[in-house]
Chains A and B, each alone.
Chain A
């Protein structure tokens, strides 16, 4: 059964069956990654462009590796800032790349909606690798895959997303995906980092990190962006760490069974103490490995879709 859409723009509104299909397909590719020869010929002859308008290391590397593992031809385009300021419009850039006969485009951009706009000006399959503070669907898929791998299911689990929800693209995708698969989702962070009316998505909110640890099976801890202007959302990183940071003391006191995820890169001593980042509660590096398998699954399902 193919995916219901020829693009992956986000997880909002994506049918549960599609999410499950991606996760199940990733299981197959995850096994490939353990082989001595980690390459399959599935997307041979397909050309994929990684169109990154914003700095990204791990997502771009992960996509590129997934493409190479599937034997696709890969080209990379990296540019930061407004396209107009660089003399060529976004549309012209895309048209030029498409003229090189590209089958799929993986796009990362600081403006929400760019992948959606791309579907209107390009015929390629579009995969959203993160748009503004909107969605980052493959990150949420790999998070769900990693949770399922560790705990055996998603349905009925209690998952809390911790941190700067308002400026995160990971949070929304996780909320949509997790709720779709039957998890109970809550959010924990300073009130200034919780966007307006987000409860209407079916999530609950707490500002107490001890409660969040105690009441959940999984914590997906978001990165606090150090580059954000100090004092606008939180007074200091120190205060954030003291009241929302996750430490082994807090875990041991509240819930030693809790599972910690983090999309990276980690700010040690801010959202996670070093002890937690390296400790037994977390699966941060598993997430990175699984990310390659998830991206292989997405590329494969879209690239071979009839």
Chain B
């Protein structure tokens, strides 16, 4: 099987590659790069991708695939389809399934379901059994089965003492703890605490609920020498804490979601539950701090926190509705529209934050655009203008606040494991 891609802008910041060239893939391997004459190659499918960018396959390190337990909201299959449609060749899935990812059996189940899919799925194991915050999950067993990091996401690692144990235990594997930073004693609310929450009369969550745990986790990471990754950072103060910690050489990294760098808490004003998430949308000052953190490298990567919920669950009274939105199929467009077009980040920086850095944090191989390498690629058009339509999503769920939004930038194709997703279908390359 041979496929020739004409006219690509090849962009691979890890190799300082920024080149306009054609790309020949044979049986999933990058065969040659350069000015390739299609007449010289026999039995070859040709794609004219002039002007498109080709980058190492994008990676989303924070998604909820809901399997096992809530297959009515998402499955490994539909979540991977959404990832492929959104331009991602790999995802890390969070352990707040039912049962939680706290045994090799659950990891095997997920990996089994993902095995033949183009998209690589890397499970994140639970830090504590059942994510209850009491005893450590069998981390050794989980690492051996394929867990790439550990998190009690959905909730914080409840006590400092169990966090310390987990971090020390993880030193044996070099694994990162991914923390959902929320001091539960002050987080009983439905939106960010601000002038807006005062006007809306909604119970609110102050930014310090996040900051306190970020500070705690940085201290524990410093003390133990372990690695901490702050999931979905959202407060200005937390970004400052991470910035200072990085200067001291503490092993801390963090991610931000597209909604936290593009929406502020005033969007809650119409009580649409698609604007209800945790951490909640913050103030404009926080939004600007996210962009600043992305620019100066404090924020290492961008992840969607793809959180599918059924319509009947989400369409509810505001205080009862579950938190979260789906994001795999809108993420790239929001990054390009809000960060690239507004000149906050360059395309190479975007590739680092959406492809290279998340894999580095998880200790995964980084795909290279180089002859002889496996083709693990995303091809996207940074100039394509389109309207988000939730009914076109491959995800099983529809909970997105970005429906009908006009955006720029779209994935055209993804390639991995000898397969390509292009124009709504999978084929071999």
Contact = CB atoms under 8 A, between A and B. Distances in A.
A91 B311 CA distance: 11
B144 to A, nearest CB: 40
A200 B283 CA distance: 15
A89 interface: yes
A134 to B, nearest CB: 3
B13 to A, nearest CB: 42
A83 B193 CA distance: 26
Interface string B193-237: 111011111111000000000000000000000000000000000
Nearest to A165: B198
Given A131-B201, A133-B201, A133-B202, A197 B317 contact: no
Contacts of B204: 196
Contacts of B319: 110-112, 132
Given A116-B270, A197-B195, A169 B316 contact: no
A197 B196 CA distance: 9
Contacts of A197: 194-195, 198
Interface in A116-131: 116-117, 131
A195 B198 CA distance: 6
B423 interface: no
Interface string A191-210: 00001111011000000000
Contact of B318 (A91, A112, A201): A112
Contacts of B198: 195-198, 201
B271 interface: yes
A193 to B, nearest CB: 12
A165 B198 CA distance: 10
A195 B315 CA distance: 28
Interface in B143-202: 190, 193-195, 197-202
B200 A113 contact: yes
B195 A112 contact: no
B320 interface: yes
B201 A112 contact: yes
Interface in A6-27: 12
A111 B320 contact: yes
A82 B203 CA distance: 16
A143 interface: no
A90 interface: yes
A111 B317 contact: yes
B197 A195 contact: yes
B312 interface: yes
A196 B199 contact: no
A172 interface: yes
Contacts, number: 73
Given A116-B270, A197-B195, A200-B195, A109 B201 contact: no
A142 B12 CA distance: 67
Contacts of A134: 200-202
Contacts of A135: 201
A172 B201 CA distance: 8
A196 B202 contact: no
Interface string B2-27: 00000000000000000000000000
B266 to A, nearest CB: 13
B234 to A, nearest CB: 17
Given A134-B201, A172-B199, A196-B195, A91 B271 contact: no
Interface residues of A, number: 28
A90 B314 CA distance: 11
Contact of B201 (A83, A84, A169): A169
A207 B190 CA distance: 28
B73 to A, nearest CB: 15
A83 B202 contact: no
Nearest to A136: B201
A114 interface: yes
Interface in A214-262: none
A2 B299 CA distance: 54
Nearest to B268: A113
A111 B200 CA distance: 10
B39 to A, nearest CB: 60
Contact of A116 (B190, B271, B320): B271
A197 B283 CA distance: 13
Given A89-B312, A196-B197, A198-B198, A133 B317 contact: no
Contacts of B271: 112-114, 116-117
Contacts of A132: 201-203, 319
A84 B322 CA distance: 12
B318 A111 contact: yes
A198 B193 CA distance: 12
B315 A89 contact: yes
Contact of B200 (A82, A112, A198, A200): A112
Interface string B289-330: 000000000000000000000001101111110000000000
A114 B199 contact: no
Nearest to A114: B317
Contact of B316 (A84, A112, A131, A201): A84
Contacts of A114: 271, 317-318
Among B197, B199, B313, max chain A CB count under 10 A is at B199
B17 to A, nearest CB: 49
B98 to A, nearest CB: 18
Contact of B317 (A109, A198, A200): A109
Interface in A167-215: 169, 172, 195-198, 200-201
A105 B69 CA distance: 38
A84 to B, nearest CB: 6
Nearest to B271: A113
24 contacts: A83-B316, A89-B315, A90-B316, A90-B317, A111-B317, A111-B320, A112-B190, A113-B200, A113-B317, A114-B317, A117-B271, A132-B202, A132-B203, A132-B319, A133-B201, A133-B202, A134-B201, A169-B201, A172-B199, A195-B197, A195-B198, A197-B194, A198-B195, A200-B195
Interface of B: 190, 193-195, 197-204, 270-271, 312-313, 315-320
Given A135-B201, A198-B195, 5 more contacts: A111-B318, A112-B190, A133-B202, A196-B195, A196-B198
What 5 A-B pairs are tightest by C-beta distance, nearest first? A113-B271, A134-B201, A111-B317, A133-B201, A197-B195
